[in-house]
Every structure is written in structure tokens, then in C-alpha cells.
Amino acid sequence: MRQRSQWRPVTLSLEVWEVDERGGAVVGRSPLPQGVVSA
């Protein structure tokens, strides 16, 4: 995974996952609007 100063949307199958530049926040959008999970 590449970390940038901006959010990079990654298309996986039919789901869109965004990885935060910090490499800790993962945003998964599919059935839900926008859920931010800090790992």
C-alpha cells in the first residue's frame, strides 16, 4: 500500500477502500455511507 498526503481510493472487487496517509485509518464504503476505523 502506498501512503500519500492525499487519500487514495483503492477499488477492491465491488468495494471501495481508502487508506489514510497515516497508514492507520481505513475507510470502507459499500453498504454504509462512510465508516472510519482507526487501527
For the full predicted model, state whether its pTM sits above 0.85: no
Give the model's confidence band at 38: pLDDT under 50 very low, under 70 low, under 90 confident, else very high.
very low
Give the start-to-end residue ranges of the domains of the chain.
Answer: 8-38
**Which residues does 38 contact at the CB level (< 8 Å), separation at least 6?**
24, 25
Please say if the pLDDT value at position 14 is more than 50.
Answer: no
**pLDDT value of position 9:** 59
Report the chain's mean pLDDT, rounded to a whole number.
Answer: 53
Distance CA 26, CA 20 (A): 6
- pLDDT average, residue stretch 3-7: 55
- pLDDT average, residue stretch 5-14: 51
Distance CA 25, CA 39 (A): 6
Cβ atoms of 17 and 8 within 8 Å: the answer is no
